[in-house]
Structure 1
């Protein structure tokens, strides 16, 4: 596409598609995204959480007796947007005319991948902020026992059997491979966004290797254990080209303008982001509810064997 015909909405759609394809760990957590910063106050946004109801029961012989009705009220959890994640690049007229033949490949792709890397770091930092569990033993020759115990703990908290994840450091992943503990990654049910990651299945968990973790680190979790809240900044009125868009679990603003101080075009991709661990409602058999954190963090070097 000639540079003079670059359309902001098309560039942004391409960028968001790139984010979708490149997200790895961030693709495994809940994402709350919009193309504006509404729904909260200041830098806080209210993330909706699933409602929990206990079904009621009565005898068939109670015909004619009034039923008991419940009220559904939407629950929200405040999540603070803490980070302004952006990539800004200056491009000279010479570059635009003589060196850049494909704006998407040469400008958009590097910028977006830089943003993805930073978001991945933000998710890992949030996971690593969890307190370490010292109650789950680990034996490198029998790592499946650790996964079995972690699964029971999460299931006892009310998490469904589907959608359980285990993010591990490269050292733990190597031990899982050596112990032949992982099943074929093709059976993992992983999303397209994880197609290039080292993944496998073990005791009901989809195991994802990530070199941002410590070698001996494991985080067991369900999808709703963490929320990555994303908001697109409002497009500024004074920019030459600008657009804001949300799609595929992501929201972003793109600006292309001219900086007369340096006589260069400037391409800016940006988003606001915040990530935090979430508490979810656990429904007991008696109908009472409690808040629990559906995630467990383990350092294999510090737990008993």
Structure 2
């Protein structure tokens, strides 16, 4: 029977829910999204960063004297949208009438999961672009000691104790298991998808296994160390079925139209994405601020000596 029940908004809501459930690495970083481009120029968007203020202090005997008034200035960091991530498939009338009984399961799910995989690759590639930190020694029999040292380095940069993450290659994760260094695996992670990706806590780091990383690779970071910026393309005016939506930390456009040259319907899911490492303000005890990248990249096979 014809699939007259395929409603663009429903298809897109289902697709975005699938994205939310399937995200692993992308779910551990800051995500900035809107329905369309805004707050920037061209393919660049400005991502807001937290303000940093130092409290003032004076002696109680100074009552009546003028106080120092600070100004809040919102900070932004430009993030370039570099990728047009999409999945396009043709579906014939015969397939729609005879083969496809569940549009979501047979068409939407494979397309959306392909997009999720590519976004996961984009986040991992951004992490791997960091320069290697050569100051951390690594002992495969005691891998948790490297985590302890990395935690101190990130805490010294001003990162809070909560919200620390470590993405590790499969060999490093195996060494952590052999050393019984992973705790609270059944309770860790913000979503069921992250738990399925093998998430545990090591020395204060939520630790996720990532088979996109090299076997000996570790990325230590805070959530704000990387931003995945998402924008939904405007749906074309000429498309028969179309929708654009932002929901649950993700933005996407779906178009279903007819290509008369091949006599087939075409289903297209698409989004614009950009991912980059971020610099955050570090507030020193004397009130001065500096910009730091709150992330470390370690290759355990590299000898720091």
2:52 alignment partner in structure 1: 52
Tell me if 1:34 matches 2:34.
yes
Shift of 1:189: 4.3
Question: Residue in 2 aligned with 1:120?
Answer: 120
Q: 3-state DSSP class of the match of 1:101?
A: coil
Partners of 2:46 and 2:232 lie apart in 1 by 15
Number of residue equivalences: 305
SS at match of 1:186: coil
CA distance in 1, matches of 2:236, 2:155: 47
The alpha carbon displacement at 1:35 in A equals 1.3
Look up the match of 2:15.
15
**Would you say 1:155 and 2:155 are equivalent positions?**
yes
1:76 aligns with 76
Render the CA deviation track for 1:57-102: whole Å, top value 9, x for unaligned: 1222222222211111111100011100000010000111111111
RMSD between aligned residues: 1.3
Partner of 1:229: 229
Secondary structure of the residue aligned to 1:27 is helix
Distance in 2 between residues matched to 1:75 and 1:250, nearest whole Å: 23
Structure 1 unaligned blocks of 5 or more: none
**Corresponding residue SS for 2:228:** strand
Inter-partner Cα distance in structure 2 for 1:247 and 1:289: 35
Unpaired stretches in structure 2, ≥5 consecutive residues: none
Q: Quick check: 2:157–2:282 contact (8 Å CA) kept in 1?
A: yes
Contact 1:190 1:206 in 2 (8 A): no
Q: 1:90·1:267 contact (CA, 8 Å) conserved in 2?
A: yes
The alignment's TM-score, normalised by the length of structure 1, stands at 0.98
Post-superposition offset of 1:2: 6.4
CA distance in 2, matches of 1:303, 1:53: 40
Q: Deviations over 1:162-205 (max 9, x none)?
A: 00000000010011111111113123243334131111111000
Helix, strand or coil at the partner of 1:84: strand
* Counterpart residue number, 1:298: 298
Quick check: 2:221–2:295 contact (8 Å CA) kept in 1? yes
Q: How do 1:118-197 and structure 2 match up within 5 A?
A: 118-197=118-197
Matches within 5 A, 1:235-246: 235-246=235-246
Provide the C-alpha distance between the structure 1 equivalents of 2:187 and 2:264, rounded to a whole number of angstroms: 50
CA distance in 1, matches of 2:128, 2:252: 26
- Does the Cα contact within 8 Å between 1:228 and 1:273 map onto a contact in 2? yes
